Amino acid sequence: MTTLGGRSSIGRSDLWQWIAASLRARGDQILVFVVLVAIWQVLSMTLGSYWVGSPWGVATRFAAGIADGALLRQASYTVIEAAAGFVLGALPAVALPFALRRLPIATAILDPFMVGGYGAPKLALAPLFILWFGIGIESKIALVAVTVFFIVYFSTQAGIRALDAGLVRMAQIVGASEQHVARHIVFPGAVPYVFAGLRLAMPYAIGGAIIAELISANRGLGYLLQLGAMNFDTTGIFVALAATTCIVFLGNWSVNALERRLLRWRPPSDVTLQAGT
Amino acid sequence: MNAPLIEIRGLAKRFAKRGGRGGRGGREPAPWVIQDLSFSVSAGEFLTIIGPSGAGKTTLLNIIAQIDVASDGEVRFQSEHAPVGDAKALKPGLACRIGYVTQDDHLLPWRTTLQNVLFPLAVQGRLNGSTRARAEMLIRTAGLNGFENHYPHELSGGMRKRAALIRTLVYDPPVILMDEPFGALDAQTRTQLQEDLLRLWNLGKKTIVFVTHDIAEAIALGDRMLVLSRQPSRIAGQHAITIPRPRDVRGIMTDPQFAALYQRVRGELQ
Amino acid sequence: MTVRDAAIDLDAPAPVRGRRHAVTLGRVALAALLLLAWKISADVAGPLTVADPIKVFERIVADTLSGALVRDTYVTLRLSAIGFALGCGFGVALPFLLRRRPRLTAAVEPYIMASVGIPKYALVPLFILWFGIDDAPKLWLVGLLVFYVVFIAVFAGIRSVDRGLIDMARVAGAGEGAIAREVIWNSLLPFFFAALKIALPRAVSAAIIGEFLVGNEGLGYLIEHSRQNLDTVGVFAGIVVATALVLAINALLVTVDRRVNAWRPIERHMQI
């Protein structure tokens, strides 16, 4: 119930209710966490730790892996593959739409090929790259690069197409040349879209590296996963899974942090391009 | 008597009819937005143009600013023929001699206030110590000091308008076109900006062509007022505004000449 | 589009429309060029690295005629379909179950969203360990991938249902089941179909990749097995068929979508 006073009219009881509800939600979440871990523990005890590594076993193995550096070293291989592939794929994907901006016919000719590449299952190329480049990191990097390229290409292109004609007109009136417009209007305007593409591509980069490692590798987290499966070592598998998930979160966080730094000028209401599902 | 700075003769404009694929051949004629429009603007004059919505006021300014083509007629600027008939020959802003303050402020979202104001100087290659100082002076005059490093989304509507205004003033074009620049603001801010505008106009006698739909604003600001008719726009009336300067913008309605002029213009707008 | 076009002439035709023939010609030329590049690289790099396109074509024809390719394709599609159905079923059912228990939803939501961050493909070794080397681990993979896509979409769709409609239905005497069927299901149909369009190609892709890792049939198995035998022609043939399959499914979905939603712009669908 509100009066003209607005905020001050929210009763104390309403405020308390809101606090209680939030605390209850937090409490529920903690409860769920405890229940999940408990179920995990029970499954581990009843089925045996070969089938389901126990929570404590996984936690200690994880900590040990970090302490002696082994887990970090394996994780670093995967991260390097994902990161190198990401950069290798993203750079041309950002550059190409800009380069072709003034050649609409070239873009139109290229379009169905790009759409085909976007729609085609790129991960199916994993065996081909392993055939070509062997089981080292090169094949993983190549796979990640191809996967990332198409995602970022289309996002960048969308950013260039979303050109605000009004801003361009304004710039022309104050005397901007084509280069000025490209540098000061097209490029900054496209950057949010490029970041949306980078954010979208990031999990695919890590996933691609892992898949290629699963097929054939002797290093990396995917390798650890396969090793765990071969040795009937579910604890090892869980540790590798946890590490993988950490990397995904870390990657997301990095892209978001970079975006926050570079895009401080964006109005907070611009949710069209912000963190999506 | 000096030749007029801008001369418009027999200007006409209609938009190509949209709809139907390609539109080649068999196009029905689209309605004329502007037809047979002729007037002139003298150097140093503050001309206000008033007309009903949809009367093509923005289109007229777009043509003068050379960001749109005319279907017929001619525009002369300083007795030179401006190429308004041919899309490829258009020179937006006529080499920075015509400034244009549009309804949307079009501030670059990724530049701070100061960077936005400096933008024309940067692209014109005129950025140096003295022009920078001028920009900072304008920012102070417009009451934006303290907000130099803010981004546009952090500024209020009125501040953005002021920033857009001084962005045009900073490179000193002899002519400034203004398209209902204060339309979207509240009355308080609007009056303040009108006063600021007159003050800035006085600083260096520019030629201003100011479009509005507000009769009181047109009378308060202008030396002369043009009344446009409904589509297709023609001159429905011309009035010299003889209220002495400096004008009292807030109290303009109390001026003895105001009421009669207002009524006459109202009649012409019907 | 050049700056000038963007800024100046609102009624100029799009710069490319008039050059439609040039564009088509260019596309055909580019396709031919790519095929030529393939042939040349096959000659240059040798049959072990790049398979000759003609041999690949011959292999595809031969395998189709012998039925082997048809069998493999069928296996992959069957796997995708079952996994898709499972994932869809749970992906739709779970949001509906959660709908009437907001407290439970609030409690589990952060965990569900966190679990999205786990790369599903990374779970395959675990599935192989747990469920054996037949179809089961692959079905789990496909099912999970489809589940997450559908669940998130339906969850969001249910959340966005107009409360007013629900209240109106309740006032009019509708029971919970009727409300779920009439109001909620219809409101979330667009979300659901959008999710299906993404999930279906992804299911096929996941099936293929699952087959890289476990099993002895299917298109994925064909590709990976060929690689292990250094049968480059086989690798290329499998990839060509797999790509064509997924692209065909995409095209089919786009056509169906266009028919059904004639007024809405089509989105392009990402396939990994």
Residue-wise DSSP of chain B = -PPPSEEEEEEEEEPPPP-SSS--SSPPPPPEEEEEEEEEE-TT-EEEEE--TTSSHHHHHHHHTTSS--SEEEEEETTEEE--S-GGG--GGGTTTEEEE-SS----TTS-HHHHHHHHHHHTT--SHHHHHHHHHHHHHTT-TT-TT--GGGS-HHHHHHHHHHHHHTT--SEEEEESTTTTS-HHHHHHHHHHHHHHHHHTT-EEEEEES-HHHHHHH-SEEEEE-SSSB-EEEEEE--PPSSP-STTGGGSHHHHHHHHHHHHHH-
Choose one of B130, B154, B172: the last residue of a domain: B172
Mean pLDDT, rounded, for B114-126: 94
pLDDT over 60 at C271, yes or no: no
Query: Are the Cβ atoms of A244 and C204 closer than 8 angstroms?
Result: no
Q: Which residue has the higher pLDDT, C257 or A39?
A: A39
Lowest-pLDDT range of C80-84, C103-107, C176-180: C176-180
* Residue of C9, C13, C17 with shortest CB distance to B87: C9
CB distance from C103 to chain B under 8 Å? no
Would you state the structure tokens that stand for residue C25, as one six-digit string?
């010609």
Q: Which domain holds residue B117?
A: 108-172
Q: Which of C1, C2, C3 to mutate to test the interface with A (most CBs of A within 10 A)?
A: C3
Q: Does B82 share its domain with B126? A: no
Mean pLDDT, rounded, for C17-29: 85
Structural contact between residues A263 and A189, judged by C-beta atoms closer than 8 angstroms: no
Mean pLDDT, rounded, for B149-154: 94
Lowest-pLDDT range of B75-79, B230-234, B258-262, C56-60: B230-234
Q: How far apart are CA A37 and CA A55, in angstroms?
A: 7
Choose one of B157, B172, B187: the last residue of a domain: B172
Per-residue pLDDT tens digits for B90-109: 888 888 889 999 888 899 99
**Contacting subunits of B (3+ beta carbon pairs below 8 A):** A, C
Query: Are the Cβ atoms of B67 and C8 closer than 8 angstroms?
Result: yes
Mean pLDDT, rounded, for B164-175: 90
pLDDT band at C12 (very low <50, low <70, confident <90, very high): very low
Q: Does B131 share its domain with B40? A: no
* Residue of C118, C205, C268 with shortest CB distance to A124: C205
pLDDT value, residue A89: 97
Which amino acid is residue A174, in one-letter code?
V
pLDDT band at B246 (very low <50, low <70, confident <90, very high): confident
**Contacting subunits of C (3+ beta carbon pairs below 8 A):** A, B
H-state helical runs in chain A: 12-47, 55-67, 70-99, 104-119, 126-133, 137-161, 165-173, 178-181, 187-215, 221-230, 234-262
Would you state the structure tokens that stand for residue B76, as one six-digit string?
């002369």
The verdict on residue B23 lying in a domain is no
Q: Does B159 share its domain with B265? A: no
Q: Does B246 share its domain with B186? A: yes
Q: Does B189 share its domain with B133? A: no
Q: Which residue has the higher pLDDT, C165 or B215?
A: B215
* Residue of A101, A169, A225 with shortest CB distance to C122: A225
Per-residue pLDDT tens digits for B4-23: 888 888 888 888 765 544 44
Q: How far apart are CA C114 and CA C109, in angstroms?
A: 8
Nearest to B52 by CA among B264, B232, B257: B232
Residues with Cβ within 8 Å of C67's Cβ and at least 6 positions away in sequence, in order, are: none
Looking at the complex, report in whole angstroms how far the Cα of residue C19 sits from the nearest Cα belonging to chain B: 12
Per-residue pLDDT tens digits for A56-92: 999 999 999 999 999 999 999 999 999 999 999 999 9
Structural contact between residues A208 and B156, judged by C-beta atoms closer than 8 angstroms: no
Residues with Cβ within 8 Å of C178's Cβ and at least 6 positions away in sequence, in order, are: C169
Q: How far apart are CA C144 and CA C202, in angstroms?
A: 11
Q: Does B80 share its domain with B184? A: yes
The verdict on residue B228 lying in a domain is yes
CB distance from C8 to chain B under 8 Å? yes
Q: Does B65 share its domain with B135? A: no
The verdict on residue B21 lying in a domain is no
CATH number, residue B244: 3.40.50.300
Q: What burial letters (b/e) apply to C189-213, b meaning 16+ CB within 10 Å?
A: eebbebbbbbbbbbbbbbbbbbbbb
Q: How far apart are CA C237 and CA C245, in angstroms?
A: 12
Nearest to C120 by CA among C148, C100, C156: C148
Per-residue pLDDT tens digits for A258-271: 998 888 888 876 54
* Residue of C7, C9, C13 with shortest CB distance to B69: C9
* Residue of A31, A124, A151 with shortest CB distance to C223: A124
**Contacting subunits of A (3+ beta carbon pairs below 8 A):** B, C
Closest residue in chain A to residue C197, using alpha carbons only: A119
Q: Which of B68, B86, B94 to mutate to test the interface with C (most CBs of C within 10 A)?
A: B68
Contacts with C, A 135-164, CB within 8 Å: 147, 150-151, 154, 161, 163
Q: How far apart are CA B147 and CA A60, in angstroms?
A: 54
DSSP 8-state symbol, C122: G
Query: Are the Cβ atoms of B95 and A175 closer than 8 angstroms?
Result: yes
CB distance from C93 to chain A under 8 Å? no
Q: What are the φ/ψ torsions at residue B179 (nearest 5 degrees)?
A: -110, 95
Residue A17 has a CB neighbour count (10 Å cut-off) of 11
Q: What are the φ/ψ torsions at residue B98 (nearest 5 degrees)?
A: -120, 120
C8: chain B residues, CB-CB within 8 Å: 67-68, 87, 90, 92
Structural contact between residues A174 and B119, judged by C-beta atoms closer than 8 angstroms: yes
Q: How far apart are CA A180 and CA C3, in angstroms?
A: 11
Q: Does B87 share its domain with B143? A: no
Choose one of B122, B138, B172: the last residue of a domain: B172
Looking at the complex, report in whole angstroms how far the Cα of residue B67 sits from the nearest Cα belonging to chain C: 5
pLDDT band at C10 (very low <50, low <70, confident <90, very high): very low
pLDDT over 60 at B145, yes or no: yes
A169: chain B residues, CB-CB within 8 Å: 67, 92, 102, 106
Q: Does B116 share its domain with B141? A: yes
Between the alpha carbon of residue A97 and those of residues A87, A114, B2, the distances in Å are: 16, 11, 52
Nearest to B252 by CA among B225, B227, B215, B201: B215
Query: Are the Cβ atoms of C122 and A214 closer than 8 angstroms?
Result: yes
Per-residue pLDDT tens digits for A104-146: 899 999 999 999 999 899 999 999 999 999 889 999 999 999 9
pLDDT value, residue B89: 76
Q: Does B159 share its domain with B186? A: no
The verdict on residue B242 lying in a domain is yes
pLDDT band at B270 (very low <50, low <70, confident <90, very high): confident
pLDDT band at C60 (very low <50, low <70, confident <90, very high): very high
Mean pLDDT, rounded, for C207-219: 94
* Residue of B16, B22, B90 with shortest CB distance to C11: B16
Mean pLDDT, rounded, for B153-168: 90
Per-residue pLDDT tens digits for A181-198: 999 999 999 999 999 999
Over chain C, what is the mean pLDDT? 86
Q: How far apart are CA C28 and CA C22, in angstroms?
A: 10
DSSP 8-state symbol, A30: H
Task: Provide the edge-to-edge strand list for the sheet that holds B80-82.
Answer: B32-41, B6-14, B72-77, B80-82
Which amino acid is residue B220, in one-letter code?
A
Over chain A, what is the mean pLDDT? 89
Query: Are the Cβ atoms of A121 and C205 closer than 8 angstroms?
Result: yes
Would you state the structure tokens that stand for residue A22, as one six-digit string?
């939030």
Nearest to A204 by CA among B128, C209, C104: C209
Q: What are the φ/ψ torsions at residue A169 (nearest 5 degrees)?
A: -60, -45
The verdict on residue B24 lying in a domain is no
Number of domains in chain B: 2
* Residue of B22, B87, B90 with shortest CB distance to C12: B87
Q: Does B64 share its domain with B164? A: no
Per-residue pLDDT tens digits for A231-252: 999 999 999 999 999 999 999 9
Closest residue in chain A to residue B153, using alpha carbons only: A267
pLDDT value, residue C167: 85
Per-residue pLDDT tens digits for B22-74: 445 555 677 888 888 899 999 889 999 998 877 688 889 999 998 888 888 88
CB pairs < 8 Å spanning A and B: 66
ipTM for the whole complex: 0.85
pLDDT over 60 at B248, yes or no: yes
Looking at the complex, report in whole angstroms how far the Cα of residue A57 sits from the nearest Cα belonging to chain C: 17
pLDDT band at C9 (very low <50, low <70, confident <90, very high): very low
Would you state the structure tokens that stand for residue B81, as one six-digit string?
């023929």
C12: chain B residues, CB-CB within 8 Å: 87
Looking at the complex, report in whole angstroms how far the Cα of residue B129 sits from the nearest Cα belonging to chain C: 31
pLDDT over 70 at C140, yes or no: yes
Q: Does B130 share its domain with B252? A: no
Per-residue pLDDT tens digits for C229-249: 999 999 999 999 999 999 999
A37: chain C residues, CB-CB within 8 Å: none
pLDDT value, residue C8: 37
* Residue of A166, A170, A188 with shortest CB distance to B110: A188
